[in-house]
Amino acid sequence: MVMSSRAKDIFQVLYKSSQPKDQKILANKFGVTPRTIRKDINDINSLLLPYDGEIVLVRNKGYVIKYKDRNMIEKFFQDSNCCNGDIEFPNNTEDRVIYIIKKLLVQKDYLMIDELAEELFVSKSTLNSDIKKVKEKLKKFNLIIKRRASYGIKVAGEEKNIRSCIAEHYIYSRNNSNTLNVIEDVEYFKDIDVNKIKKVILKNIAYHNIRIAEVNLNNLIHHICITIKRINNGFSIEEEFFTDIEVSELDREVINDIVEDLSNSLRVEFSEEEIDYLTLHISSKKSGQEYDKQNGALAVEIVNSMIKTIKKTYGYDFSKDEGLINDLTQHIKPAIKRIKYSLNLRNPMVKEIKRMFPLSFNMTIEALDAIKDKIKGTFNDEELSLIALHLQAAMERQEEAKYQRKKVLLVCGSGIGSGRVLETKLNKIFGKKLDIMMSISMLDFDVVDKLECDFIVSTVPVKSKYKPVIVIKGLPTKKDIQKISRFINVTKKRNRFGLDEVFNKELFMISEEADTKDEIINIVANNLKDKKYAGDDFLPKVYERENVSSTALSEMVAIPHPVRACALKTGIAVCINKKGVCWDETKKVHIMLMLAIKPKEYKYMDGIFDLIVKILENDCITMKLLNCKSYEEFLKELKDIYRKDLEDI
């Protein structure tokens, strides 16, 4: 016997649930009679026999799976392909919240609370608790839940914001990719010919010679698919949205051609408002070079202001970096339009950028905060992280430009000749990065061991009391080159601020008192104030920064700090909380590193930020720090991370 698709879905509901399911509710969910449900369950039971399992009816409660071995039931679940059933059944609070949002977004009429509770197999009180969380998520899109007695609930807000919310929850939340196959796998878009839409768009942007990055092209295709779906379902953009629309004639011409082709091939009728909406989308996604006139003056003003703020606060002077100025200007020109009209641009690398480059991300937030009055709207994490990449590249260019050559002593066990060959090879590979002082034999090493050099490269095992040693095998292999390169990068960022200076004992605490994010922030910030590291404006600015973007950058670690550098003294306050506090929707923080950094001292913290990145990226390091029982133990672990850098190279 082969299970029907409905029987598979029924088994999936029971398999994923920890509570019995009433047969009337099951019947209502699947649109059949209780008798049909009983027949389906009998069919399932006949197939379950070899797996020592059975679905039984518990009096006054409902159906539940009984079994001797859970592994056998899991095997049945896989063998019968129940995991490939069509049903999308949420089994916890987070999944239910997403399920409710997605259902509300595509619903034209009100959703009855009682019916939704039955559909989700939860009580009304549980559902109302879930709806509170739904409201919080919808706030980010300027959407609200509208309630009406005897009718239920529905989403209310501007159509453009509803479409942005659909893009986030139906497309981008499925994985961290922006590829077209994501939308093709979404049930909501099954009746949309994505490939045909893509061909029409590619044909027309090529004809008009318009440049659009691949990630922006996919984003444009997604929003055109959403537009067509919404039009087909009877939803349209509001006319008042376009009272002051600013787009070029070329943008209008391109979209008119695209719309004409789509109307003919897909039989969709686009209103003037929809055409304006799509024109804005293509206008906001083109390469910055296409914006020579639009937003040009404002973009230049914003970039100049950013560079001044960064120099004043962080000590980095980018005023002569023409590459950065040009890149930022080209990025901000279309970004102004995206922000003004709430047109979201997806950046699939946002989480990695925030975690790997916290300094440049914070720099971006502070620089833009100083000119927020000039921009109609706010930069989201996607926009902030893309700008942060430009600043990160500029910081690295500046670091290389001011870099001092490292003095190296070569020790060669094969004689002067091979030493000269090694010297020539290293000079060719590293050029101005290395200053090779001399090449000596192993016998002469004891005599010159105290020579002023930064490190030693040796082809034979030697020990030095004074300098780090890198042992390589004769002519440097690719692995040897990587060792030396990593050593150069580590040493040039080291010792600007000592660990003992930044991670001071008076700023360290292990606290189980705090139960919430606000409590732990207040406790640590007040300690910084008491110890004269911060003033009265520090805590409000920490909350202001947190409201811009969450500082929980890994599953267990947060690095809160003020939106603008205002510390009286530089230090990092540490608070370990083993039970953890809920920081945002998905993260529970156990280690908090609150940054108090004086203006202009950020530029001397690059080694410390490298250390923070290692903590964020490595769960083993995080757990070691979490298990520390004293300041001394914590500091020792931090120093071990530094030491490990040198041992690994």
pLDDT at 143: 95
**By mean pLDDT, which of 206-220, 315-329, 360-374 is the weakest?**
206-220
The per-residue pLDDT of the chain, averaged, comes to 84
Overall average pLDDT of the 290-317 stretch = 83
pLDDT at 180: 53
Overall average pLDDT of the 31-35 stretch = 85
The C-alpha atoms of residue 69 and residue 57 are separated, in whole angstroms, by: 19
The C-alpha atoms of residue 88 and residue 170 are separated, in whole angstroms, by: 13
Q: What are the tokens at 206?
A: 């090529």
The C-alpha atoms of residue 552 and residue 531 are separated, in whole angstroms, by: 25
Among 348, 337, 359, 355, CA closest to 386: 348
pLDDT at 494: 46
Q: Find out whether 607 and 497 touch, Cβ atoms under 8 Å.
A: yes
Residue 567 has pLDDT above 90, yes or no: yes
pLDDT at 597: 93
The C-alpha atoms of residue 62 and residue 79 are separated, in whole angstroms, by: 25
**CB count, 10 Å around CB of 176?**
13
pLDDT at 176: 46
pLDDT at 449: 56
Counting DSSP H helices and E strands in the chain, the numbers are: 27, 12
Which domains does the chain carry? 5-84 (1.10.10.10), 93-157 (1.10.10.10), 165-286 (1.10.1790), 290-396 (1.10.1790.10), 406-491 (3.40.50.2300), 499-648 (3.40.930.10)
Residue 36 has pLDDT above 80, yes or no: yes
**CB count, 10 Å around CB of 441?**
14
What proportion of the chain, given as a percentage, has pLDDT over 70?
A: 88
Among 59, 43, 49, 53, CA closest to 10: 43
pLDDT at 523: 94
Identify the bridge partners of residue 592 per DSSP, sorted by sequence position: 558, 575
The CA-based dihedral angle spanning residues 328, 334, 336, 342, taken in that order and rounded to the nearest 10 degrees:
-130
pLDDT digits (tens, 9 = 90+) for 82-114: 655 444 567 678 888 999 999 999 888 899 998
pLDDT digits (tens, 9 = 90+) for 115-165: 888 778 788 898 999 999 999 899 988 899 999 988 999 999 999 899 999
Coil, helix or strand at residue 449: coil
Among 648, 511, 488, 604, CA closest to 640: 648
CA atoms within 13 A on the CB side of 427: 13
pLDDT at 461: 84
pLDDT digits (tens, 9 = 90+) for 173-183: 765 444 555 67
Q: What are the tokens at 289?
A: 């070079």
Is pTM beyond 0.85? Reply is no
Overall average pLDDT of the 604-630 stretch = 88
Overall average pLDDT of the 313-321 stretch = 90
pLDDT at 389: 92
**By mean pLDDT, which of 262-271, 346-355, 507-516 is the weakest?**
346-355
More confident residue, 586 or 479: 479
- Please name the amino acid found at residue 208: H
